Amino acid sequence: MRTVVENSEKIIKIKLSITLVFALLFINSIANAGETKRTLANNMTEIYHVLPEPAKGISEVFKKGVFYGRLRMNYFYWECENEDQHDPTGFGLGGSVIYKTAPLYGISSTAGLYTSQNLGLLNINDVLYGRSGKDTFSRYEKLANDRWGMTVLAQAYLEYDINQTDIKIGRQIFEGFPAKSNDTKMIPNTFEGLTLVSEDLPDTTITLALFTAQKLRDHIRFHDVITYDDGSGGTYSRWNNQDDSACHRGLSYANLRASGKDVDNYLVIVGVSNQSIRNLKVDIWYNSVPDLFNSLMIESNFKITLAKDWSLTPGLRYMEQFDDGAGMVGGAALNGTLAGFRGFVNGYRNAGSVDGRLYAARLVLVKGAGQFLIGYSKVSDDADLIAPWRGFPTSGYTRTMGEYNWYADTASWMVRASYDFGKAGVIKGIETSIDFVHTDFDDNKNKSGGNSGTDSSIIHADMWYRIPSLPGLVAKMRLKIVEADLLGAFENDLSYQEMRFELNYLF
C-alpha cells in the first residue's frame, strides 16, 4: 500500500511539474513570438541561427549581445526483468541561459549557466542504483553533501574569429571524435582548454584541441580527463573524478601514483576532414593522453547516386589504440580487474597492454525522407578501447542508446530505419527512428570477470515531435527493450526495459 501511495505522489508531482513547464513555455512563447534563434538536432545539440551582430565599438559589445534560453525536462523509467534488482528512475527540470557578446575585431565571449532540479521526485535508491537517469543529478553531491540539484557554469570562454578560423579558450562544448557534448540529459558534457577549428583550406576542416579538464553531465566540478577516483579515500571519491560509464577504472588515482604517473592529465585531439574528391568524405582523428595511450581513427564515406533520387553511402572506420604506459598501470580491461597483471589473464591475451583495434563498416541507403542503415563492428581480441569523453568509437555504426560495445573481442551488427514524416509531407513535425542491435561478447572474458558484457539483442525506438505552432518546442520519446543472455559470472537475468521522455523549449 505504501508503495502505491509513494508512486501516486510521484505521478502527481510529475504532472504538476509538466504543468509548470507548459505555463512557462506559453508565457515565453508570447514574449518571443516569431523569433527562432536556435533549433535542436536529433541528438539534442543546439544549432544557432541568430548570432550577435559585430560591434562597432566597446559600447556595443554588450548592447548587441544575445541571450539564449532553454527550458528542459527529462524523465527516465527503468524496469529490470530480475525482480531482485532495483528499478531506478530519473527526473530533471531546469534548463540553461547562454549569453554571447557581440564580436569586436573578431573577439567575443560566451557564458552558459545550466541547472537541473528534481523537485523531490527521487529517493536514495535512485542514487545508489541509478542507471540512465543518474545524469539528472549528481550522485557525488547527493551522497557527500546532501544536495540533489545541480547548477554549474558549464560554458565560459573567449572566442576569436579570423577568416574561416575559430579559436576558443575556456570552458566549452566540443563536437568531434572521440569527444562530444552528448547533450541528451540535462547538462552537456563540456571541457576546459583551447580549441581551433579552421576551414581556410578548400574542402577541408582542421580541428585542434587541448583539454586540461572535463565536466561530465552529472558533475558540477571540472576534473581530470582520465583519472578514476579523486584519491581522497572518501566513501564516494570514485564519483568525484572521471567516472563515466566508459571510463578505465584501472587508471585510478592510486594506480597512477603508484606507477609514478601524473594524475593531472590532458587530452590532445587533432582532426582533419576532407571532401576534395566528389562524393567522398575522409576523416582522420588522432587523440592522446600523453604517457598513457594514443588513438588513431580513419574513416571514409563515399556517396553513390542511384536512380530515382536514391543514394547509397558505404562507410568504413578503422581505429587503433596504442599503449604508452596505460596497460602497465591499469591493465587491458576497462573494469580495472587486470591492473598489475601481465600475460594471459581472464581471457585477455596480454593483460598488461592496451593495444587494440576497431573495424567497422556500414551501408546507408537514403530516399527522400527515409533512411536505412546496416552496420557492423568488431574489436580485436586485445584490449578494451578507452573513450570516456562521450564520443563513442562505434557511434554511427552499431551503437544504440546506452550501449557500450567496444570491449575486446566484441562484435555487433545493427539495422536502423528512420523516417521524417514532416519532410515527406505526411505529419508535420514528426520524425521516427527504430533500430535492432545484436552484440556478441567474448564468453571467456565474461565468465572469468574480464568484462561485464553479456550477449544481447536490443530494440530501440525514438520519436521526435517539433510542434509546428510553437517553434522551439521539441518533445522526444525513447523506448528500449533488452534481451540479455544468462552467461558467466551473472546468475540473474540482465534483461530490462527503459523509457525516456524529454521536453525542450528554446527561446
CA 350-352-358 angle, to 5 degrees, is 60
CB atoms within 10 A of CB 167: 18
Q: If pLDDT is split at 50, 70 and 90, which confidence band does 4 have? A: very low
pLDDT score at 34: 56
Answer whether residue 384 shows pLDDT above 80.
yes
Scanning 350-494, the segments in alpha helix (DSSP H) are 443-447
Answer whether residue 307 shows pLDDT above 60.
yes
- pLDDT tens digits, one per residue of 5-27: 445 455 445 545 554 554 554 45
Instruction: Write the CB contacts of 302 (distance below 8 Å, at least 6 apart in sequence).
Output: 279, 280, 281, 313, 314, 315
Provide mean pLDDT across the span 237-265: 96
Comparing 13-17, 45-49, 128-132, 478-482, the range with the smallest average pLDDT is 13-17
The model carries a pTM of 0.92
pLDDT score at 428: 95
- 3-class DSSP state of 300: strand
Q: What is d(CA 182, CA 196) in angstroms, rounded to the nearest whole number?
A: 20
- pLDDT tens digits, one per residue of 490-501: 566 789 999 999
Percent of the chain with pLDDT over 70: 91
pLDDT score at 374: 98
Answer whether residue 320 shows pLDDT above 70.
yes
pLDDT score at 494: 82
Average pLDDT, the chain: 92
Place of cell 591493465: 331
pLDDT score at 29: 47
Provide mean pLDDT across the span 199-225: 98
pLDDT score at 14: 52
Q: If pLDDT is split at 50, 70 and 90, which confidence band does 92 have? A: very high
Highest mean pLDDT (candidates 230-234, 320-324, 345-349):
320-324
CB atoms within 10 A of CB 398: 30
Distance from the Cα of residue 346 to its chain's centroid = 29
Is there a cis peptide before residue 178, judged by omega within 30 degrees of 0?
Answer: yes
pLDDT score at 5: 43
User: Do strands 190-198 and 107-117 pair parallel, antiparallel, or not at all (unpaired)?
Assistant: unpaired
152, 217 contact by CB (below 8 A) = no
For residue 429, CA distances in Å to 417, 418, 422, 465, 478 come to 18, 14, 5, 5, 16
pLDDT score at 109: 98
Q: What is d(CA 110, CA 407) in angstroms, rounded to the nearest whole number?
A: 38
Residue 258, sorted as left (phi over 0), alpha (psi -120 to 50) or beta, turns out to be alpha
Answer whether residue 1 shows pLDDT above 80.
no
What is the greatest pairwise CA distance in the chain?
Answer: 69
376, 398 contact by CB (below 8 A) = yes
pLDDT score at 15: 45
